[in-house]
Structure 1
Amino acid sequence: MTDYAIGDIQGCYDRLRDVLAKVDFSPSRDRLWVAGDLINRGPASLKTLRYIESLGDSAVVVLGNHDLHLLAVALGGHAPKRKDTLAEILSAPDRDNLVSWLRQQNLCVYDSERDIMMAHAGMPHIWSVQQALANAREVEEVIRGENASEYFALMYGNKPEGWSDNLTGMDRWRVITNYFTRMRFIASDGRLELTAKESAGNAPKGFAPWFEFPRTDELRVVFGHWAAIEGKTGFDRFIGLDTGCVWGGALTMMNLDTGEKIHCDC
């Protein structure tokens, strides 16, 4: 079995199938790690979502901000945004099944044998692997539970700016969600700057890209979300796979064991 990780697909179904064909991907023997943002902005969000769902245990999926946005529209009473391409999913006959499947996905996943974590936006330096997993599981239980609609109604927002063990309720869940799905720039004390989307070299004063802060472990992190950096972090252990397919860049996939990257121009 070969495990491949892939960056933000965002509804670019044809390019997804193209890049999988380059490695003769087969769900009977291979597994696809999807770094979030399966859908939205691209031309075929419904086909993409159906295909990833159909892979069953051959797909390892983490939620991205666009995936959570679909759930916020479907369950939390939010209206679609002008540039969204979610209408086909929301009106599909299997909408409820797809929404239910998406709710079962994780905010982060960790492979202890490889010592590698995948999260859509990355991994804040202020958390150990164990802390990150515990915080993720806490929010995942809410998303899967009977109070999910309340969570999605209140999910959006940039406050609190940073982590505290004393946070409770929606403030706690929102900041955990923001670390895993929206983080780009962070301060040394863990405060997030969520309005800037520029390249890594244009950090707001007092902040830096999350992957520039040292860690005390040897963890490798696979992430997407930040198309502006074109997959370049400057660190072998922090592996950016969002290379802007939906914006005319490329869709990037990586063999998790060899590190080989496979690209498909978009």
Structure 2
Amino acid sequence: MATYAIGDLHGCYVEFETLLEKLDFSPSRDHLWLTGDLVNRGPDSLGCLRRSVALGSAASVVLGNHDLHLLAVARGHGKLKRNDTLTDILEAPDRPEMLEWLRRQPLLIADHERGYVMTHAGLLPQWSIAQASELAAEAEAVLRGDDVDDFLSVMYGNRPARFTPDLTGEDRIRAIVNVFSRMRFIADDGTLDFAAKEGLDSTPEGYAPWFTYPREDDPAGDRRLTLLFGHWAALEGRTPDAQVDVRALDTGCVWGGSLTALDLGSGERIAVPASR
């Protein structure tokens, strides 16, 4: 049995299938961790979402910002953007089942036995794994609950830019979701910058990549864990000056790069080039 973590699909269905074939992946034997952003910008968002749903218990998925955008648009709380490729999902006959499955996916998954934690964008260095897990569960309960529309209607936004324990209501959940799904550069107090989205040469003054800040040990021994994330295609899988053990898995398939899998047993990276 092998477990593979795969970077953002972004609707790159052909490459996803090619990578699974290269891995000799079998859902009856192996397991996938998917870093989120299953959909959008690529040519076959519907194919990627359907395939992910069909994998059932053979796949563990975390929500990315584009997945959350799809949920908001589908429920009438967001508008399609010019470069969105979500219409095929919105018009699909199995749309209700797929979107119900999507909103029940977590923001964080952890395998303490293997020593891996995965979120879409990363992990705030001010949070222990235990705290991050609790905050993820708090936001997941909202996304899975009967009042999900109340949150999705106010989900978009950059404020508050910093999570503090005293936050309540929609501000608290938005801050949590933004950390897990949108974070790139942060200040030393945990304030997120939302403007810079390119590579490390675009680092804003007073900010640094989240993974360059050290994490303090806690009783759970967080520093022994490897953090897996996607979201940041401009890194091209590289995390220079990282102060924690991280693996960047979004290698920009949708932008002409590649789709990458990490074998969690051997640490080997396996990739296929973008077909476009």
TM-score for the superposition, normalised by structure 2: 0.95
Q: Secondary structure at the match of 1:251?
A: strand
Question: For residues 122-154 of structure 1, what are the alpha-carbon distances to aligned partners after superposition, in whole Å with 9 as ceiling and x for unaligned?
Answer: 001010001000000001000010111111110
Q: Which whole-Å CA distance do the structure 1 matches of 2:213 and 2:42 have between them?
A: 33
Q: Secondary structure at the match of 2:53?
A: helix
- For residue 247 of structure 1, what is the aligned residue in structure 2? 255
Q: Does the aligned pair in 2 maintain the 1:109–1:117 contact within 8 Å?
A: yes
The correspondence of residues 164-243 of structure 1 with structure 2, limited to 5 A, is: 164-216=164-216, 217-218=222-223, 219-234=225-240, 235=242, 237-243=245-251
Write out the 4+ residue segments of structure 1 that deviate beyond 3 Å after TM superposition. none
Question: For residues 234-256 of structure 1, what are the alpha-carbon distances to aligned partners after superposition, in whole Å with 9 as ceiling and x for unaligned?
Answer: 34721000010000000000101
Q: Does 1:149 align with 2:157?
A: no
Shift in Å, 1:75? 1.7
Question: For residues 1-27 of structure 1, what are the alpha-carbon distances to aligned partners after superposition, in whole Å with 9 as ceiling and x for unaligned?
Answer: 211000010010000011111110010
Shift in Å, 1:116? 1.4
Q: Which whole-Å CA distance do the structure 2 matches of 1:208 and 1:114 have between them?
A: 29
Question: For residues 137-195 of structure 1, what are the alpha-carbon distances to aligned partners after superposition, in whole Å with 9 as ceiling and x for unaligned?
Answer: 00100001011111111001000010110000100000100100000000111100011
2:236 aligned partner, one-letter code: E
Shift in Å, 1:202? 2.8
Q: Which whole-Å CA distance do the structure 2 matches of 1:68 and 1:28 have between them?
A: 29
1:170 aligned partner, one-letter code: E
- For residue 74 of structure 1, what is the aligned residue in structure 2? 74
The correspondence of residues 1-266 of structure 1 with structure 2, limited to 5 A, is: 1-216=1-216, 217-218=222-223, 219-234=225-240, 235=242, 237-266=245-274
Q: Which whole-Å CA distance do the structure 2 matches of 1:117 and 1:215 have between them?
A: 14
Question: For residues 49-88 of structure 1, what are the alpha-carbon distances to aligned partners after superposition, in whole Å with 9 as ceiling and x for unaligned?
Answer: 0001001000000000000000010124211111100001
Q: Secondary structure at the match of 1:118?
A: strand
Q: Which whole-Å CA distance do the structure 2 matches of 1:77 and 1:154 have between them?
A: 8
Q: Secondary structure at the match of 1:20?
A: helix
Q: Which whole-Å CA distance do the structure 1 matches of 2:106 and 2:34 have between them?
A: 11
Measured at CA, do residues 220 and 164 of structure 1 come closer, stay the same or move farther in structure 2, by a change above 3 Å? same
Q: Which whole-Å CA distance do the structure 1 matches of 2:198 and 2:50 have between them?
A: 32
Q: Secondary structure at the match of 1:33?
A: strand
Report the number of matched residues. Answer: 266
Q: Secondary structure at the match of 2:166?
A: coil
Where structure 1 has 5 or more consecutive residues not aligned to the other structure, the ranges are: none
1:200 aligned partner, one-letter code: L
Where structure 2 has 5 or more consecutive residues not aligned to the other structure, the ranges are: 217-221
Q: Does the aligned pair in 2 maintain the 1:251–1:264 contact within 8 Å?
A: yes
2:181 aligned partner, one-letter code: T
Measured at CA, do residues 76 and 145 of structure 1 come closer, stay the same or move farther in structure 2, by a change above 3 Å? farther
2:245 aligned partner, one-letter code: R
Shift in Å, 1:201? 3.5
TM-score for the superposition, normalised by structure 1: 0.98
Q: Which whole-Å CA distance do the structure 1 matches of 2:173 and 2:114 have between them?
A: 28
Taking only aligned residues, the RMSD between alpha carbons, in angstroms, comes to 1.0
Q: Which has the higher mean CA deviation after the structures are superposed, 191-200 or 90-99?
A: 191-200
1:26 aligned partner, one-letter code: S
